[in-house]
Structure 1
Amino acid sequence: MRKFGFIMLILAIAVLAACSSNEQKASTETKDEKKNEEVSVDKGLLNVEVTLPASMFEGEDIDSVIAEAKKDGVKEVTKNEDGSLTYKMSKSKHKEMMKELETNVKDTIEETKTSGDFASIKDITHNDSFSEFTLLVDKSAYENSMDGFASIGFGMSGMIYQMFNGSDADNTKVTILIKDEATQETFDEIVYPDALEDSDTK
Structure 2
Amino acid sequence: MKKKIVALMLSVALAMSFTACGNSDTSKADTKKEETSKDGGTLKAEKNILSVEITLPASLVEDDSATLTDEAKSAGVKEVTKNDDGSITMKMTKSAHKKLLNSIKESVDQSNDEMLSDKENYPSFDSITYNDDLTEFTVNVDSSLYGGMQGFAALAFYMEGNIYQALNAVPEDQLKTVVNFVNKDSGEVIESGDSSSMANSQSDSETIAQ
TM-score exceeds 0.5:
yes
Tell me how far 1:115 sits from its aligned partner.
2.1
Higher RCO (Cα < 8 Å, 6 or more apart): 1
Tell me how far 1:105 sits from its aligned partner.
0.9
User: For the residues of structure 1 that align with 2:64 and 2:184, how far apart are their CA atoms?
Assistant: 45
Q: Does the 8 Å contact 1:73/1:93 carry over to 2?
A: no
Aligned to 1:48: 52
Aligned to 2:154: 151
User: For the residues of structure 2 that align with 1:200 and 1:85, how far apart are their CA atoms?
Assistant: 21
User: For the residues of structure 2 that align with 1:124 and 1:7, how far apart are their CA atoms?
Assistant: 18
Write the letter of the residue equivalent to 2:160: S
User: For the residues of structure 2 that align with 1:60 and 1:133, how far apart are their CA atoms?
Assistant: 26
User: For the residues of structure 1 that align with 2:82 and 2:151, how far apart are their CA atoms?
Assistant: 40
Query: 1:105 aligned to 105, 108, 113, which one?
Result: 108
The C-alpha deviation readout for 1:142-190, integer Å capped at 9, x for no partner, is 13x3111111111111111011101121111111111112322112211
Query: 2:140 aligned to 136, 151, 156, which one?
Result: 136
Aligned to 2:96: 93
- The structure-2 alpha-carbon separation of the partners of 1:82 and 1:199, relative to structure 1 and needing over 3 Å to count, comes to closer
Asked if 1:122 corresponds to 2:126, the answer is yes
- The structure-2 alpha-carbon separation of the partners of 1:109 and 1:190, relative to structure 1 and needing over 3 Å to count, comes to same
The RMSD of aligned alpha carbons is 3.3
Tell me how far 1:51 sits from its aligned partner.
3.1
Q: Does the 8 Å contact 2:81/2:90 carry over to 1?
A: yes
Could you tell which deviates more after superposition, 134-143 or 42-51?
42-51
Query: 1:176 aligned to 169, 176, 179, which one?
Result: 179
Write the letter of the residue equivalent to 1:112: M
- The structure-2 alpha-carbon separation of the partners of 1:136 and 1:77, relative to structure 1 and needing over 3 Å to count, comes to closer
Could you tell which deviates more after superposition, 80-89 or 172-181?
80-89
Write the letter of the residue equivalent to 1:48: V
User: For the residues of structure 2 that align with 1:60 and 1:154, how far apart are their CA atoms?
Assistant: 20
Aligned to 1:8: 10
Aligned residues: 165
Write the letter of the residue equivalent to 2:194: V
The C-alpha deviation readout for 1:34-85, integer Å capped at 9, x for no partner, is xxxxxxx8333510112345684758769x945x533312123346565654
Write the letter of the residue equivalent to 1:108: S
User: For the residues of structure 2 that align with 1:136 and 1:80, how far apart are their CA atoms?
Assistant: 40
User: For the residues of structure 2 that align with 1:157 and 1:7, how far apart are their CA atoms?
Assistant: 9
Partner SS, residue 187 of structure 1:
strand
- The structure-2 alpha-carbon separation of the partners of 1:142 and 1:167, relative to structure 1 and needing over 3 Å to count, comes to same
- The structure-2 alpha-carbon separation of the partners of 1:158 and 1:65, relative to structure 1 and needing over 3 Å to count, comes to closer
Question: Which ranges of structure 2 fall in alignment gaps of 5 or more residues?
Answer: 1-5, 12-40, 205-210
- State the TM-score, normalized to the length of structure 2: 0.65
- Same amino acid, percent of matched pairs: 35
Partner SS, residue 129 of structure 1:
coil
User: For the residues of structure 1 that align with 2:111 and 2:65, how far apart are their CA atoms?
Assistant: 26
